[in-house]
Amino acid sequence: MPATTSINLRISNEEKALIDLAAQSMGKSRTSFILENAIRTAEEALLDRTRFTLDSRQWEQLNAALDTPPSEGQAKGLRKLFNAETPWRK
């Protein structure tokens, strides 16, 4: 994806030196190092939300919903969802 915008941030000299050292140790530019790590962290923040807790009533409701075939409208929505490009890849 071609770069079309910029992000500016203010950091301390010590933080910049640390980032530069880490980027250099990996053979990357500062920009490449920051961008790769920011994107990976953003994806993890969005994708790593897989655990949730339910009481017994909620568990039964969830299982009942999962056992019920989707309506035509729901099936259409699911097809659209499963075929959609992830927001961060658009």
Phi and psi at 4, nearest 5°, equal: -125, -5
Identify which has the larger pLDDT, 80 or 87.
Answer: 80
- Do the domain assignments include residue 89? no
Mean pLDDT, rounded, of the chain: 91
Tell me whether residue 26 is in a domain: yes
> What angle is formed at CA 52 by the lines to CA 77 and CA 54, rounded to 5 degrees?
95
Q: Once rounded to an integer, what is the mean pLDDT over residues 27-41?
A: 96
Dump pLDDT digits (tens) for 61-72. 999 999 999 999
Whether residue 43 is found in the same domain as residue 60: no
CA distance 57 to 54: 8
In a domain, 1, yes or no: no
For residue 83, the model assigns a pLDDT of 92
Residues of the chain with pLDDT > 90: what percent?
77
pLDDT at position 15, please?
Answer: 97
